[in-house]
Amino acid sequence: MALFELRKVRYREVLHVHELNIEAHKVTCILGESGSGKTTLLQLLNEMITPDDGTILYRGRSIAHMDPVLLRRECVMVPQSPVIFSGSIRDNLGMGLKMSARAPATDDEMRESLRAVCLSKELEEAADRLSGGEKQRLCLARALLMSPGVLLLDEPTAALDEATSLEVLTSITGRARAEGISLIIVTHSRSAADLIGENIIYVHQGKIVSREVVSS
Amino acid sequence: MNGVLQLEWYRLAAAYVFVIILIIMVRIKKIPREREVLLSTVRMTLQLIIVGYVLQYLFTQANAWMTGLIVLLMLAFAIYTLFKRSKHPLNRQLKKLIAISMTSGILASLLFFLLVVIHKTPWYEPSYVIPVAGMLIGNSMTGIALGVNTLAQGMSSRRSWIEGSLMLGAAPKEACREIINQAFDAALLPTINSMVGMGIVFLPGMMTGQILGGASPIVAVEYQIAIMLGILGSVSLSVMVFVQFAYKAYFNDRQQLVLVEEPRQMVK
């Protein structure tokens, strides 16, 4: 059974998807230029927005009939602009678990999640003093710590230089594979998609124009 | 204590000298506010004269229905004023919540105050009910107005923060918890501040009125303490009901943030 199935989905004039299946336990990269509808596609998957027409199935169930809060706890999304809460790095890491009614994490688990995004910081440090790229990685670590079924990442390393970006993406992918997390990553970097993607979906002007399965 | 000193009409008229001074000052400073100063002075004078005669009539008619009707009219006017003066657009759901929270908070506090604290027979004695209701309604209106503004501003300026929380699986109430708390805080702050300064920084109007009216300062203070606690109860109850449910007006049934953008007329 596919993780997500989209059938004749339309959202305003931004996105028209005739048919799309996204597989579970894979790294799926959504590639495309700015304004092509990539973020819209991601937001549709965890119901931050609702399509005007069509059906979206998550593990065979229509998301229109699911509790959106429970769906978002299962399919956690990290937006491109980092959302940082007041307090320390520890507070921020714990916030995802708290908000999604999960059990709190130990300091060791928190440090492990920071390592997975290549961020060497102390848990006590003030989160709002981090640079843009560090904040983005903190958001990724927070989402990883939640260990959800699906992680939806919108340009997760846009604020990083290419070398660090590839390092972080490789590390996240490894962690996700180890924990059985399905990854859906929006990116405009072909090199990043080639490095980590198992399935690559290319979006152009609101339409899926090609799908590729990358052989390992 | 002596009875109240009657004000001669020409002595009352002399008080308008302050308005004339203000008009001269704004003219010298070329601040275009003469019209507003004049209009507000005339409105205040006419409104108070009318209300004086209305109250004089009502105080002779100790009738539960009549008193209840007056309180409801005051409440309805306060709610209408709040809708008109809100700086932020209010949709139908928010308006309904404002009306429910003000009505429930004010009436619950008013009834408790009349039946338990004042304990006057009959309980609907208009010379007690109407002034007390006026103070509860006025203060609750200010509190709710501040709560509405803080909430609406927070929802709009912290949109990405709320959506970021929703993306992590937060329920809408959890995602807005900080904004809800800020709105509650902003709404209660004026009442708390006025309690802190009372008796030292200023003498409250009701107490001053009672003392000028010939009451003993101790009796006036007793009433002032009681009414301040009543105001605190009324404001906090109204605001509590409002902020606990108002955030829902900003979410649709799929728990997505939708900002309130109902077209409305601007209040000048």
Yes or no: say if B117 and B58 are a contact pair by the CB < 8 Å rule: no
Q: Which residues touch A187 (CB under 8 Å, ≥6 apart)? A: A29, A30, A31, A155, A156, A193
> Is A215's pLDDT higher than 80?
no
Residue B264: the pLDDT is 42
d(CA A51, CA A37): 13
Give residue-wise pLDDT tens across range B117-168. 999 889 999 999 999 999 999 999 999 999 999 999 999 999 999 999 999 9
Is residue B257 domain-resident? no
Which of these, A53, A50, A54, lies nearest to A66 by C-alpha position?
A50
Q: Which residues of A touch B161 (CB under 8 A)?
A: 83, 85
Q: Is A50 near chain B, with CB under 8 Å?
A: yes
Residues B68 and B54 in one domain: no
Q: What is residue A4's three-state secondary structure?
A: strand
Residue A163 covered by a domain: yes
Q: Residues B67, B170: one domain? A: yes
Alpha-carbon span B185 to B177, nearest angstrom: 12
pLDDT on residue B263? 43
Nearest residue to B24 (alpha-carbon basis) of B46, B16, B43, B45: B16
Tell me what the pLDDT averaged over chain A comes to. Answer: 95
What pLDDT was estimated at residue B267? 36
Q: Within an 8 Å CB–CB cutoff, is residue A146 touching chain B? A: yes
| Partner A, chain B 148-187, Cβ-Cβ below 8 Å | 160-161, 163-171, 174-175
Q: For residue A53, is it within any domain?
A: no
Residues 6+ apart with CB under 8 A from B263: B89
Inform me whether the C-beta atom of residue A78 falls under 8 Å from chain B C-beta atoms. Answer: yes
- Asked whether the beta carbons of residue B256 and residue A50 sit closer than 8 angstroms, the reply is yes
The pLDDT value given to residue B268? 33
Q: Is the pLDDT of residue B202 over 90?
A: no
pTM: 0.86
Chain B contact for A99 (CB, 8 A cutoff): yes
CB A58 within 8 A of CB A71: yes
Whether residue B256 and residue A95 make contact (CB cut-off 8 A), yes or no, is: no
With contact defined as beta carbons under 8 Å apart, do B252 and B166 qualify? Answer: no
* Region for A60 from its dihedrals, namely left if φ exceeds 0, alpha if ψ lies in -120 to 50, beta otherwise: left
Q: Is residue B200 part of a domain?
A: yes
Q: What is the CATH number of the domain that holds A37?
A: 3.40.50.300
Smallest Cβ–Cβ distance between A100 and the set B161, B170, B256 belongs to B170
B103 shares a domain with B173: yes
Whether the link from the prior residue into B122 is cis, omega within 30° of 0, is: yes
What is the number of structural domains in chain A?
A: 1
Q: Could you tell me which residues are beta bridge partners of residue A32?
A: A203
DSSP 3-state of A31? strand
Same domain, B98 and B203: yes
Picking from A154, A145, A133, the residue whose alpha carbon sits closest to that of residue A181 is A145
Q: What is the dihedral of CA B244, B246, B252, B254, to 10 degrees?
A: -10
The percent of residues above 90 in pLDDT, for chain B, comes to 78
Helices (H) and strands (E) in chain B, counts: 11, 0
Question: Considering the domain boundaries, does residue B100 fall inside one?
Answer: yes
Indicate the residue of A69, A78, A83 with minimum beta-carbon distance to B255: A69
> Coil, helix or strand for A112?
helix
Q: What is the pLDDT of residue B205?
A: 83
Structurally, chain B folds into a number of domains equal to 2
The answer to whether A98 and A136 are in contact (CB under 8 A) is: no
> How many Å apart are CA A122 and CA B257, to the nearest integer?
34
Residues B149 and B243 in one domain: yes
Give the model confidence (pLDDT) of B219-268 as tens digits: 999 999 999 999 999 999 999 999 999 999 999 999 999 987 644 433 33
B255–A contact, CB cutoff 8 A: yes
Q: What is the pLDDT of residue B7?
A: 83
> Does B71 lie in the same domain as B187?
yes
CB A22 within 8 A of CB A40: no
Identify whether residues B225 and B243 lie together within a single domain. yes
Residues in chain B closer than 8 A to A79 (CB atoms)? 160, 163-164, 167
pLDDT digits (tens, 9 = 90+) for A33-50: 999 999 999 999 999 999
pLDDT at residue B69, as a whole number: 94
Together in a domain, B97 and B127: yes
Cα distances (angstroms) measured from residue A194 to each of A38, A180, B145: 17, 21, 55
- Structural domain including A116 reads 24-47+70-213
User: Is A72 in Cβ contact with B168 (below 8 Å)?
Assistant: yes
The region that residue B256 occupies, defined by phi over 0 for left and psi between -120 and 50 for alpha, beta otherwise, is beta
pLDDT tens per residue, range B33-52: 999 999 999 999 999 999 99
Rg of the Cα atoms in chain B = 22
Mark whether B121 and B37 lie in a shared domain: no
Q: For residue A114, is it within any domain? A: yes
